[in-house]
């Protein structure tokens, strides 16, 4: 099973401010960051981290999040900072591998799991219960989703500040903190993408 974690995240008016707040929340030094990914604008981070710029839009930003989670699970890197700028606001999320969480003694607040199986859009919602079962999660555990019409009766819509994947990821990761054994789903139905976010 994939093991990658959401450590902290925030939204601010600049990349530098968002990075400072996110790292402070996590108790992480900038030099610990292995990779810094910025969606939409170049990240100005004072760190020896390898920096990447992705000029992608939705749903490409969601696909990038899933790829980064898989990279962390494969231990290709330990700590990844990923940011996105939209309408003058920057959302940043700090993601970590299991090795980084244990090795650096970092508090992991949510587990991230890309759900398997790209399905055509017309079959996407029918496939979700099966994809959840594959990772030992019942659909009743899903308390929050980021789509206006939740696919499960137990789920509520969590509306992010902006439509970008990092804004959505942070909003859902914060939402799951309020309820034990709960989960959130970040969904991009037309692209067949789903990411499970579980409180640790």
CATH number at residue 26: 3.40.47.10
105 plus 171 within the same structural domain: no
Half-sphere exposure of 116 (CA within 13 A, CB side): 9
- Tens of pLDDT, residue by residue over 129-173, are 989 999 999 999 999 999 888 888 889 999 888 899 999 999 999
What tokens appear for 161 in the block? 């500040």
148 plus 85 within the same structural domain: no
128 plus 194 within the same structural domain: yes
Task: Return d(Cα 22, Cα 169) in angstroms, integer.
Answer: 14
Number of structural domains, the chain? 2
14 plus 25 within the same structural domain: yes
- Tens of pLDDT, residue by residue over 44-66, are 777 789 999 998 888 999 999 99
**Where is the domain boundary, 112, 138, 158?**
112
58 plus 138 within the same structural domain: no
Q: How many CB atoms lie within 10 A of CB 151?
A: 18
Range of the domain at 24: 4-112
45 plus 72 within the same structural domain: yes
What tokens appear for 106 in the block? 């970092």
- Tens of pLDDT, residue by residue over 90-138, are 999 999 999 999 999 999 999 999 997 666 667 888 889 989 999 999 9
Q: Residue 121's pLDDT is what? A: 66
184 plus 194 within the same structural domain: yes
Q: For the whole model, what pTM was predicted? A: 0.94
Longest CA–CA separation in the chain, Å: 46
- What is the separation of C-alpha 192 from the centre of its chain, rounded to a whole number of angstroms? 16
Task: Return d(Cα 103, Cα 128) in angstroms, integer.
Answer: 34
69 plus 19 within the same structural domain: yes
């Amino acid at each position: 099973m994939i093991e990658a974690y959401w450590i902290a995240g925030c939204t601010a008016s600049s990349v530098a401010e968002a990075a400072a707040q996110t790292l402070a929340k996590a108790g992480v030094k900038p030099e610990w960051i292995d990779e810094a990914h910025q969606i939409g604008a170049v990240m100005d981070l004072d760190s020896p981290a390898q920096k990447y710029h992705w000029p992608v839009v939705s749903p490409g930003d969601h696909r990038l999040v899933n790829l980064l989670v898989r990279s962390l699970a494969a231990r290709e890197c330990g700590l990844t900072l990923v940011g996105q700028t939209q309408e003058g606001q920057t959302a940043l999320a700090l993601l970590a591998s299991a090795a980084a969480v244990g090795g650096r003694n970092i508090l992991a607040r949510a587990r991230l799991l890309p759900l398997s199986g790209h399905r055509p859009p017309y079959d996407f919602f029918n496939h979700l219960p099966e994809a959840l079962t594959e990772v030992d999660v019942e659909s009743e555990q899903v308390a929050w989703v980021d789509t206006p019409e939740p696919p499960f009766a137990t789920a509520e819509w969590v509306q992010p500040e902006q439509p970008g994947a990092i804004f959505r990821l942070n909003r859902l990761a914060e939402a799951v903190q309020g309820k034990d054994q709960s989960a959130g789903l970040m969904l991009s139905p037309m692209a067949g993408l789903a990411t499970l976010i579980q409180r640790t």
